[in-house]
Amino acid sequence: MGDLKRLGLHDLHVELGGRMVPFAGYEMPVQYPMGVMKEHLHTRAAAGLFDVSHMGQVILTPKTDMAALVAGFEALMPVDVAGVAEGRQRYGLFTNEDGGILDDLMFANRGDHLFVVVNAACKEADIAHMQARLSQVATVTPVTDRALLALQGPQAETALARMVPGVAMMKFMDVGILDSDFGALWISRSGYTGEDGFEISVPDATAGNLARALLDMAEVAPIGLGARDSLRLEAGLCLYGHDIDTMTTPVEAGLTWAIQKARKPGGAREGGFPGAGRILAELAGGATRQRLGLRPEGRAPMREGTVIFDAPDGGNRIGVVTSGGFGPSAEAPVAMAYLPAGTSGTVWGEVRGKRHAATIAPMPFHPTSYKR
């Protein structure tokens, strides 16, 4: 596969029968012999192990003091960074001067530094962005010697606690550095499936042993990118480059929950991030379009790119599906689309030249089960 990079656990994926496909510059397992549908359902019923080592792990250490680093990082996004206590993680969004989204990410306060996890396809741009914008306040260090695994599902805690008992004490979005037989694990109680679970940064040297030890447990099965996508879609979570990008604002994307009070109009640290003019205006007065959930009637999926109309014939083109497919747990097709703000009721998606009805529906499409 040409110039594609290989994951540290490549041989394990091949041994497990993973079908390898190009994704964000890496050869990644899209599915294992179990297949996308069963992998998805297994994750919701037991525990699924995902290799997400393609994602960017970055450490930001202060050049002077944490307060300056926190203030510098806050200037990159409409998020309350100062309010994140030590040992806690938060979802963040880098924005540009137009209010568009450069990337979405997770960041954790680890006391004397921040730990950041960014999307694979954006990681080089993100690192350059942070190096340029934080040069006075932070040293930006990409972590290149650790794999990143996600263990997701209702039995993730039971499985991981056998090896790392301390994880049972963690709540949703807690982070910790926990000792184990596999070295120091950087663990957060979070994920991208809507399920309870953990993301585990593990030294490359012991990552294979940790993955095998987890896979040896009856609850745990390896899960590929295909089910990762259907799980996050049912959970109503955005995929960068599809549901959010530089042309969408956090308000249009329905991510206002990620903008805490302190950064909103009237907040203690209102504005002061790229694109604040537009984003604050949209927070106050609303955006003209928004990301909405769709439940197509029948069983035919409305996939990315499906054009949405306001009538079964004729009418107006009102938007486009940004992610869509069949939801194995929803047992029905589900989709997200950008549509005029306030759209409700029935719309029509054009699939293979024919218009099919779809109902505007709340997200998530499948209830989340985070351990708060």
What are the binding residues for substrate? 199
C-alpha distance from residue 37 to each of 19, 24, 30, 44, 223 (Å) = 15, 23, 12, 11, 10
Least Cβ distance, residue 300 to other proteins (angstroms)? 5
Note the residue count of the chain: 372
Minimum CB distance to other proteins smaller for 30 or for 215:
30
Does residue 37 belong to the site contacting other proteins (CB under 8 A)?
yes
Determine, following the binding rule CB under 8 A, whether residue 349 of this chain makes contact with other proteins.
no
Assess whether the previous peptide bond of 33 is cis (omega < 30° from 0): no
Nearer residue to other proteins within complex by CB, 281 or 300: 300
Scanning 196-204, 237-245, 270-278, 295-303 for contacts with other proteins by CB under 8 A, the matching segment is 295-303
What is the 3-state composition of the chain as percent helix, strand, coil, each rounded to the nearest 5? 25, 35, 45
Cα(200)–Cα(195) distance, rounded to whole angstroms? 15
Give me the 211-230 binding string for other proteins, x by CB under 8 A, dash otherwise: ---------------x---x
Q: How far is the CB of 361 from other proteins (least distance, A)?
A: 18
From the list 153, 191, 325, 349, which residue makes contact with other proteins (rule: CB under 8 A)? Answer: 325
Nearer to other proteins, 75 or 300 (CB): 300
- Per CB under 8 A, 305 contacts other proteins: no
Q: Looking at beta carbons only, is 28 or 122 nearer to other proteins?
A: 28
CA separation for the pair 128, 331 (Å, rounded): 42
> Can residue 17 be called a binding residue for other proteins (CB under 8 A)?
no
The label of the residue with tokens 């996050």 reads 232
Provide the residue type at 245 as one letter: D
Shortest Å distance, C-beta 143 to other proteins: 32
**With CB under 8 A as the contact rule, which of the stretches 45-53, 167-175, 247-255, 323-331 interacts with other proteins?**
323-331
Select from 113, 242, 278, 303 the one that contacts other proteins (CB under 8 A).
303
Query: Can you say whether residue 216 is alpha, beta or left, with left for phi > 0 and alpha for psi between -120 and 50 degrees?
Result: alpha
Stretch that binds other proteins, among 32-40, 150-158, 282-290, 309-317 (CB under 8 A): 32-40
Q: What distances in angstroms separate CA 282 from CA 81, 104, 236, 248, 289, one per listed residue?
A: 21, 19, 21, 12, 10
CB closer to other proteins, 266 vs 305: 305
152 touching other proteins, by CB under 8 A: no
Q: Least distance (Å) from other proteins to the CB of residue 239?
A: 15
DSSP letters of 325-348? EEETTTTEEEEEEEEETT--SEEE
Nearer to other proteins, 254 or 301 (CB): 301
Residue 349 φ then ψ, to 5°: -105, 135
Q: Can residue 300 be called a binding residue for other proteins (CB under 8 A)? A: yes
Selected from 3, 144, 216, 299, the binder of other proteins by CB under 8 A is 299
CB of 325 to other proteins, least distance (A): 7
| CB within 8 Å of 135: residues ≥ 6 apart | none
Q: Any contact of residue 328 with other proteins (CB under 8 A)?
A: yes
Could you tell me if 62 and 76 are in contact, meaning their C-beta atoms sit under 8 angstroms apart? no
CB 210 within 8 A of CB 220: no
Cα gap 91→84, rounded to integer Å: 11
Binding residues vs other proteins (CB under 8 A): 30-31, 35-38, 40, 226, 230, 298-301, 303, 325-326, 328, 333, 352
